[in-house]
């Protein structure tokens, strides 16, 4: 049987740690999960780690400092090399604690058996493996996700050379050949409470002098060689919550309640993760397991359409050949195709509208 081992590093992830363990434990088995604790002080987090350690999850507690966080890529590399030395797995998957693995080709699937089956198809690939599709949860809109193209690492056994802190640039013994995986990372980064987003951003920016407006440099902080380091986290201290929510208002996304449904199947309440703000909610019974969605006018009107990934790729050769949009034609439909009037499906199914009582984001 194919064995996939998964590793994450976290600190005080009171909301996400147990869901992360349950989600990936259902796919890979609890004994194939490793959590590197980066100095958690939250009693709930400590209790979660202790309970699941007793059930087979490996908890590593020796990397507790901010310097260790900055060495995350090196630490993960050492862990994966240790697995290789023991022939402990066929694949190694490094992840952040706000990322959840799913499958997305012709449709979106969160079924553990289907996800495992995709690893079988990759076993004979002699290549660097890249997962470069991501679904970012839309803030204050549970079950809505923005497709993005962001590279993430996945290693076949005995291939790792190195890994960066962000887990974006895997180095392997196959530098000349890259294979795109059929997976997607559900990036549940946008916590329901904006101050929680800021709190975790502050934690990750603690080493950078002047990263947070109005705060004086402290002893031990550095000025990074790359001036853009942490720029995506600095944004939260430059934008108000209203600005943050407004930035999502008129960008198309997808509606996929199957993700929250799977959390419930695992015994996890999705509300603390995705929020419980009023947004249009209804069951989706289509093979793709999602609908394309956009807000119209002031944001109170919602348009939904059936998007068929295979049909859209077949009918839009220019998109498939594009260096960026060819990675995931769904993003092209979100960015341009919908506005241009391109057909989202081959059977002519028209979109439908819902009117909300108040604008929602």
Domain count, the chain: 3
Percent of the chain predicted with pLDDT > 90: 81
- Report pLDDT digits (tens) over 204-214: 777 666 566 66
Is 208 among the domain residues? yes
User: Whose CA is closest to 93, among 66, 124, 131, 67?
Assistant: 131
Query: Taking residues 236-249, what's their average pLDDT?
Result: 89
* Shared domain check, 141 and 25: yes
Q: Minimum mean pLDDT among 25-34, 123-132, 236-245, 308-317: which range?
A: 236-245
Query: Taking residues 55-81, what's their average pLDDT?
Result: 97
User: Whose CA is closest to 211, among 184, 183, 230, 239?
Assistant: 230
Cα(164)–Cα(181) distance, integer angstroms: 19
* Shared domain check, 314 and 230: no
pLDDT for res 211: 65
Is 348 among the domain residues? yes
> For residue 89, what are its two tokens?
């797995």
Q: Residues with Cβ < 8 Å from 110, sequence gap 6 or more?
A: 102, 103, 258, 259, 262
* Shared domain check, 171 and 24: yes
* Shared domain check, 145 and 232: no
Q: Is the pLDDT of residue 225 over 70?
A: no
Tell me the residue ranges of DSSP E strands in the chain: 4-10, 33-37, 58-60, 91-96, 99-104, 108-109, 128-131, 134-137, 144-148, 152-156, 160-162, 171-172, 178-180, 183-187, 253-255, 291-296, 301-305, 352-355
* Shared domain check, 127 and 64: yes
Query: Taking residues 309-321, what's their average pLDDT?
Result: 97
Query: Taking residues 63-75, what's their average pLDDT?
Result: 95
* Shared domain check, 22 and 80: yes
Among residues 246, 262, 285, the one where a domain terminates is: 246
* Shared domain check, 126 and 15: yes
Is 297 among the domain residues? yes
* Shared domain check, 29 and 178: yes
pLDDT for res 278: 79
CATH at residue 146: 3.90.550
Among residues 187, 206, 229, the one where a domain terminates is: 187
Is 311 among the domain residues? yes
- Domain of residue 286, residue span: 253-355
pLDDT for res 153: 97
pLDDT for res 287: 94
Band (pLDDT 50/70/90 cuts) for residue 199 is: confident
* Shared domain check, 206 and 174: no
Q: Is the pLDDT of residue 92 over 60?
A: yes
* Shared domain check, 112 and 28: yes
Q: Is the pLDDT of residue 5 over 70?
A: yes
Is 139 among the domain residues? yes
User: Whose CA is closest to 122, among 92, 100, 86?
Assistant: 92
pLDDT for res 341: 96
User: Whose CA is closest to 244, among 280, 187, 202, 192?
Assistant: 192
* Shared domain check, 226 and 173: no
Is 360 among the domain residues? no
* Shared domain check, 272 and 217: no
Band (pLDDT 50/70/90 cuts) for residue 236 is: confident
pLDDT for res 298: 81
């Amino acid at each position: 049987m194919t064995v996939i081992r998964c590793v994450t590093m976290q600190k005080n992830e009171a909301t996400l740690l147990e869901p992360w363990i349950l989600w990936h434990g259902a796919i890979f088995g609890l004994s194939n999960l490793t959590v590197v604790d980066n100095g958690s002080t939250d009693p709930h987090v400590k209790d979660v780690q202790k309970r699941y350690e007793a059930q087979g999850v490996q908890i590593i507690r020796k990397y507790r400092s901010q310097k260790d966080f900055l060495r995350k890529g090196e630490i993960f590399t050492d862990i994966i090399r240790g697995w290789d030395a023991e022939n402990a797995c066929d694949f190694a998957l490094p992840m952040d604690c706000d990322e959840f693995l799913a499958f997305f080709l012709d449709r979106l699937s969160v079924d553990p058996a289907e996800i495992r089956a995709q690893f079988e198809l990759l076993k004979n690939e002699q290549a660097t493996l890249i997962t470069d599709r991501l679904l970012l949860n839309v803030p204050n809109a549970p079950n809505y996700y923005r497709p993005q193209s962001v590279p993430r690492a996945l290693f076949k056994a005995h291939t790792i050379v190195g890994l960066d802190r962000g887990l974006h640039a895997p180095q392997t013994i196959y530098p000349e050949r890259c294979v795109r995986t059929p997976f997607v990372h559900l990036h549940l980064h946008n916590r329901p409470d904006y101050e929680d987003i800021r709190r975790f951003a502050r934690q990750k920016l603690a080493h950078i002098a002047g990263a947070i407006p109005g705060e004086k440099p402290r002893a031990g902080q550095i000025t990074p060689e790359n001036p853009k380091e942490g720029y995506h986290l600095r944004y939260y201290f430059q934008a108000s919550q209203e600005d943050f929510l407004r930035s999502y208002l008129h960008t198309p996304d997808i509606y996929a309640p199957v993700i929250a449904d799977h959390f419930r199947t695992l015994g996890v309440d999705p509300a603390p993760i995705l929020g419980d703000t009023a947004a249009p909610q209804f069951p989706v019974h289509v093979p793709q397991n999602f609908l394309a969605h956009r807000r119209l006018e002031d944001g109170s009107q919602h348009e939904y359409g059936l998007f068929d990934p295979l049909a859209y790729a077949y009918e839009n050769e220019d998109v498939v050949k594009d260096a960026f949009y060819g990675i995931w034609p769904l993003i092209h439909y979100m960015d341009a195709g919908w506005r241009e009037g391109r057909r989202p499906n081959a059977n002519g199914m028209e979109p439908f509208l819902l009117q909300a009582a108040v604008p929602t984001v």
